[in-house]
Amino acid sequence: MSIDNGIYILKTKDNQHRVIHTQAIENIYWSYIDECYKDKPVSTRIVEYFGDARYTYNQDIARDIAFGIARKNETEFGIREIIVNKTWNQIMNEAKQIGLLELEVLKSKEVFM
């Protein structure tokens, strides 16, 4: 059975690097509004996955963190980098807007019932 996990370094336009160890990273591309996977990460999913991660502006430190996690954890996909052409503030602002729209879509489908 697949463990479907990896260590992911998010690099933003403002050169922030955030490192996480997680499963099902493909969900970062999921849009509840369109109910499909997008070709670029969706801001609300970026915040869901990377929002609690500490960040650094130093790529070498981010890689050291990732390798440290890799030494302690078995992964299926190893270490991967996800590059987003937005600053962290842009991602957060967009996530707030998209999140409200996603909630409306989910409410209309009675997901919260």
Within a domain: residue 113? no
Which residue's entry shows tokens 């050169």? Answer: 15
Structure tokens at 39: 């070709």
**Contacts (Cβ under 8 Å, ≥6 apart) of 43:** 86, 91, 92, 94, 95, 98
Within a domain: residue 72? yes
pLDDT over 70 (residue 111): no
Within a domain: residue 76? yes
More confident residue, 80 or 113: 80
Q: Tens digit of pLDDT for each residue in 10-46?
A: 999 999 999 999 999 999 999 999 989 999 999 999 9
Q: Tens digit of pLDDT for each residue in 69-86?
A: 999 999 999 999 999 999
Residue 112: the pLDDT is 57
Residue 67: the pLDDT is 97
The alpha carbons of the chain give a radius of gyration, in whole angstroms, of: 15
Nearest to 30 by CA among 113, 85, 106, 107: 106
Within a domain: residue 39? yes
Within a domain: residue 12? yes
What domain range includes position 83?
5-108
70 phi, psi to nearest 5 deg:
-65, -35
Confidence of residue 100 (pLDDT cuts 50, 70, 90): very high
